[in-house]
Amino acid sequence: FLKSTSSEIRCSATRVLAYYGWPKVFGLLMSCEDTRPDMKATLLAIVGDRRAVPWIIAQYKRTDSLYHDRPAFVLHCKMAYLNALYHLASPKQLPFLESIIRNPKTEGVRRRAGEVRDHITELYPELRRSA
């Protein structure tokens, strides 16, 4: 299925492989233009590929400008991105998370960003001294 001439079939196969944690899926998934970014972020978190962190942060930042007329969808997407970042738990995420915590638009988003930050500092206790 990954060698199909149909991009729809290739991307469907890619999403299934990502869902089951296939580690070689990063490049294939990133090339699937028909996959919603929030779903792609979730799948990349399942795979655990931290190369996705900059892309997920960029998608989070783009969400307001793309969907400003759909506040419930914006909230859904932001929470999906924060959930993905929780599972990827890269220390490189901390400045981004701190910016959300300092400038919240909604309490739920701020609270989740704090939980993600706390999770990272639990995994990397040495960061507590520099945070």
**Residue 19: partners with Cβ closer than 8 Å, 6 or more residues away:** 43, 46
Say what the pLDDT of residue 37 is. 95
Residues of the chain whose pLDDT is less than 70? 104, 129-131
Cα distances (Å, whole numbers) of residue 36 to 39, 44, 80, 95, 98: 5, 12, 11, 25, 26
Say what the pLDDT of residue 128 is. 72
Say what the pLDDT of residue 103 is. 83
pTM of the prediction? 0.91
